[in-house]
Amino acid sequence: MVTTYILLRSMLLFAANCQALDTFIAAVYEHAVILADDTKSPISSHEALDLMNRNMDILEDAVKTAAMQGAHLIVTPEDGIYGWRFNRETIYPFLEDIPDPKVNWNPCSDPARFGQAPVQTRLSCMARDNSIYVVANIGDKKLCNISDVGCPDDGQYNYNTAVVYDSNGKLVARYHKGTLEDRDLWVPGGKVHPALRRFLVNIGESIRHCTSWSACANQGSGIFSPDKVEPYYYNMKNETGGLLISELRSHPRNSSTYTPTKWNLYASHIEKYRSGSNVFNGFIFDDNYTFTELNANHGEYTVCQKNLCCHISYKMVEKHSDEVYVFGVFNGLHLVEGEYYLQVCTLLKCESMDLKSCGEPVETSSTRFESFSLSGNFSTSFVFPEVLLTDVHLAPNMFQVLNDGRLISQSGISSHPLLSATLFGRWYEKDPIGKQKSKFIM
């Protein structure tokens, strides 16, 4: 299953058109994408469309289900329509020319206005026919003059692109992704001023789908609001897809009960715990973490990297002798598949008894925790919690974020083996502005 695309910026559009709503219902979806048999050999446009329609059949079912359950907006997976592992030649039949939303276009009502656009048309109709905002990921193509600086040799820019259609099917946003996995295939979007980027993220954090950055290297899905982790449920209809739906406040920061989380408050005022007897380095997604082994059934530890110190207090129900857990910290610039600054505190299970395996993908565990509390003296206010159970299941209603920045477990956690618990911070001001590019057009 691929990671659902994080399009926080779409919330700007939804909020602007739903001012009268005190609350709204949001949905996120992911599924096992149907992939092309061979992504290294060119196929016809007809074959490419057939593959994309098979994936859109699955997405359309999710859109209909979400709409029937009252959702106003649904975010669908990145690469969820055509898959991945293409080269510049083989991706070509999967791309469409996506116009600037300023042209005021509804593909469902006027499909031929900008040439052949069957994918955009179908997505638009999904939105219109179900009266729901649809966020999807497709490929945009733009011709360029090969004599121009930066124009690829084939005379075309390819953009990994998110599109947003409103509940009438109108194209209302186009986002050219700036953090890219394959720069030989895609080019980054244009530059966004740092203040604007922070504003967009600040507004957009009303809905978020957590991605596969974590030590388990698998998908965990959740919807978060600025004031709390909202209640949600996980509806796995079958092995091919999962849908999350939650009711959120339209303007949570305007609520009289809203109290912003001070992510560094608790960690900045407690006395430092001991670092543990075994401190070592390991890698998660090529990021160099500092770990300390949790070699006792209970304890309190501190682990630091640069100016970020992470604290943990925990108690295990039982510690399986064939499993190793560590507590780690990363505070630095992530350099793979994009460049962006992270601050992370994470409790995780290692892949094997060998400490060199800590940070490798893990899907199952047997050790249960009676309780845990994580905190860190973060330098950013954009911190997101994630708790994963064995078999990479989410842990709804099993943890809580306190206003002082602590991620604490709740009573239900002791019944389920734990894979990881993480506080994931994004320090946007530290991003390399010249390289971290994005473009958001409304």
Contacts of 231 by beta carbon, 8 Å cutoff, 6+ apart: 246, 396, 397
Locate 137 and state its tokens: 């990921």
Q: Mean pLDDT across the stretch 367-371?
A: 96
Task: Please tell me the total number of residues recorded for the chain in this structure.
Answer: 442
The yes-or-no verdict on residue 7 having pLDDT over 70 is no
More confident residue, 17 or 38: 38
Confidence of residue 8 (pLDDT cuts 50, 70, 90): very low
Which whole number is the average pLDDT over 349-377? 95
Buried residues in 346-375 as b, exposed as e (16+ CB within 10 A): bbbbbbeeebeebbbebeebebbbebbbbb
Q: Residue 55 corresponds to which tokens in the numbers above?
A: 């994936």
Cβ contact 305:329 at 8 Å = yes
pTM: 0.70
Query: What's the rounded Cα separation, in Å, for the pair 129 and 131?
Result: 6
pLDDT score for 181:
57
Task: Tell me the average pLDDT across 397-418.
Answer: 92
pLDDT at 439 over 80: no
Low-confidence winner among 28-37, 323-332, 347-356 (lowest mean pLDDT): 28-37
pLDDT at position 182, please?
62
Amino acid at 167: S
pLDDT, position 26: 83
- Domains and their CATH numbers in the chain: 10-190+222-257 (3.60.110.10), 265-430 (no CATH)
- DSSP structural state of residue 254: G
- Asked if residues 172 and 442 have their Cβ atoms less than 8 Å apart, the reply is yes
Q: According to the model, what pLDDT value does residue 79 have?
A: 86
Beta carbons of 235 and 42 less than 8 angstroms apart: no
Where does the pLDDT of residue 81 fall: very low under 50, low under 70, confident under 90, or very high at 90 and above? very high
- Scored b (16 or more CB within 10 A) or e, 388-419 reads bbbebebbbebbebeebbbbbbeeebbebbbb
pLDDT at 270: 80
In this structure, the dihedral spanned by the alpha carbons of residues 170, 175, 180 and 185, taken in order and rounded to 10 degrees, is 60
Confidence of residue 208 (pLDDT cuts 50, 70, 90): very low
Asked whether the beta carbons of 347 and 388 are under 8 A apart, the reply is no
Which stretch of 74-78, 196-200, 271-275 has the lowest confidence by average pLDDT? 196-200
The strand ranges marked E within 177-307 are 233-238, 241-249, 279-284, 287-293, 298-305
